[in-house]
Amino acid sequence: MSFDIRQLRYAVAAADHGSFYRAARALDVEQSTLSRSILKLERVIGGKIFERSRAGVTTTIAGSDFIRRARPMVTNADQLVTMMRAAGQGHAGRLIIGHNNSLSAGNLRATILGWREAHPDVDLDGVEADRGILLAGLDTGEIDIAILIGDVTHEGYRREPFWSERTLVALPCRHPLAEREVVYWTDLRGEQFLLTAADPGSEIRDMLLGRLSMAGMQPDIRLHQSSREAILSILGSGPGISIICEGGIGACYPDVIYRPIHGEQGPALISYSGYWRKDNSNPALKRFLAFIRDRYALSFDIP
């Protein structure tokens, strides 16, 4: 024969209350149910836990040692049940977010910080990588959701637009355009652009080609294997400028300033979208999607 956690819980409650009656009331069970369960427990362990009297119950010497050892078992079991219930509702568990742009500023950083504050029990982790790596992570289940710049078509994924952010030009502080509060696309013709070959460099390159290409002329775009941080760190001391998304302006670099880019219709914007597998059943992901939907007043459905 063996005993279960319910019997231990009854015994601990009886020891705490000094009475089967009061323990049964505290646990909202029948006194007879509690009494029989404790009697069965005593038979299993082969010794009395309680001395019974009209005044209530007191633990025996062996019973006191038994209750002392049983108490953390009951506490751990209760915590385990609470954790599993929270995980099932998305209040705990683990969430992995992939992204292909900086987190130094912008909506992605604000969203992650807001989520962490609202759901401190969820173990949140992030992966910054090129979209190919992130899509592979979605395929294998290592990443729950990827928040990417640009459009990706992949069977089996859900895609929803999340938000847009400003596009900015990074300039050496001595550059003539640094004196302006706003820079227009037409101001950037003839400039040399330094971009990373990694994400989101290809998206920004395509944007520049679309905005600045003219008949017989294309913008001077130099793709480097260096990271965007490495490019920006030396930008202030050499020729060339760079283009970044608003999420990257939280980091400061020597002799580099940022200016928003405008077109004919106003600020130049770049869109972010979320991608996740349709069969991902992680409750924390569902709550994260609901958090984004409410935060940005979106209207997509969450199965």
Question: Structure tokens of 266?
Answer: 């106003």
Ranking 68-82, 105-119, 127-141, 210-224 by mean pLDDT, the lowest is 68-82
Taking the C-alpha atoms of residue 246 and residue 206, their distance in angstroms, rounded to an integer, is: 17
Mean pLDDT (whole number) for 104-130: 88
Taking the C-alpha atoms of residue 261 and residue 268, their distance in angstroms, rounded to an integer, is: 6
pLDDT digit string (tens) for 33-55?
Answer: 999 999 999 999 899 999 999 88
With tokens 């924390």, the residue in question is: 284
Taking the C-alpha atoms of residue 171 and residue 175, their distance in angstroms, rounded to an integer, is: 6
Question: Structure tokens of 204?
Answer: 């920004």
**What torsion do the CA atoms of 193, 197, 198, 200 make, to the nearest 10 degrees?**
40
Domains and CATH numbers, the chain: 5-88 (1.10.10.10), 93-163+271-295 (3.40.190.10), 166-270 (3.40.190.10)
Mean pLDDT (whole number) for 160-167: 93
Q: Contact, 254 vs 171, CB < 8 A?
A: no
Residues 6+ apart with CB under 8 A from 280: 141, 144, 145
Q: What secondary structure does DSSP assign to 136-190, as a single string?
A: HHHHHTS-SEEEEES----TTEEEEEEEEEEEEEEEETTSGGGG-SSEEGGGGTT
Taking the C-alpha atoms of residue 72 and residue 198, their distance in angstroms, rounded to an integer, is: 52
Q: For residue 299, what is the DSSP state? A: -
The whole-number pLDDT of residue 10 equals 93
The whole-number pLDDT of residue 117 equals 92
